[in-house]
A = this chain, B = another copy of it.
Amino acid sequence: MSANKISMAVIKRLPKYHRYLAELIDKDIKRISSKELSEIIGFTASQIRQDLNNFGGFGQQGYGYNVEDLYNEIKKIIGLTRTYNTIIIGAGNLGQALANYTSFGKFGFNLKGIFDKNPKVVGITINDIEVIDVENVKEFIKNNDVEIAYICTSRSGAQEVADVLVEAGIEAIWNFAPVDLEIPKEIIVENVHLIDNLLTLSYFLKDND
């Protein structure tokens, strides 16, 4: 809240708060102190209090935090009190897997369209959505209030697709292609570079055995 800049480190922790608070609600736990939360979530109590106080004073001295209230506050902060229209570009293995993921919908990310350039794939139906020729993506974004695009194309096709998305006025890109996209900085980009992730594992494993 207000104008003071929240650091990316804090923002990246928010989903974890959300996840653990949901669990506490499931377990019917009504209140929790930063110390108790610290023990299950793995952040220090101090960090938890600092993090939360970036957004407001949600706790009460001598009592702690009301689990349900805090959960709802976190939902508001993360932006889970409204829905987002999304599309997938690239109906390969990964694109199809994401299209079939039902949990995104539960969080309010509604898949509106799937696009591909391959004529063999255009027209097939994935999770009740027909794959459309990517030629039509610009028009589709404008007509359907699409805010987020998941790029699931090959490495080589990704930048070209991104350019079209930007032209069409996309607001955020979730990029699964192993490239760093050149995108105007007002557009939000999250990269999932799977290979990079794997290489972290090999880094630590290389000298084993």
Task: Check B195–A103 contact: CB distance below 8 A.
Answer: yes
Q: Does A3 contact B (CB under 8 A)?
A: no
Q: How far is the CA of A44 from the CA of B171 in the complex (A)?
A: 28
CB of A45 to closest CB in B, whole Å: 18
Q: Does A78 contact B (CB under 8 A)?
A: yes
Count the A residues whose beta carbon is within 8 Å of the partner chain — how many? 55
Q: How far is the CA of A191 from the CA of B38 in the complex (A)?
A: 20
Q: Select one of B11, B16, B109, B195 contacting A15, CB under 8 A.
A: B195
Q: How far is the CA of A175 from the CA of B190 in the complex (A)?
A: 19
Task: Check B171–A198 contact: CB distance below 8 A.
Answer: no
Q: How far is the CA of A190 from the CA of B200 in the complex (A)?
A: 8
Q: Select one of B104, B109, B171 contacting A208, CB under 8 A.
A: B171
Q: Does A193 contact B (CB under 8 A)?
A: yes
Interface residues of A in 56-111 (CB under 8 A from B): 77-82, 84, 93-94, 96-98, 100-101, 103-104, 107-109
Q: Does A140 contact B (CB under 8 A)?
A: no
Task: Check B194–A192 contact: CB distance below 8 A.
Answer: yes
Q: Select one of B96, B205, B207 contacting A84, CB under 8 A.
A: B205
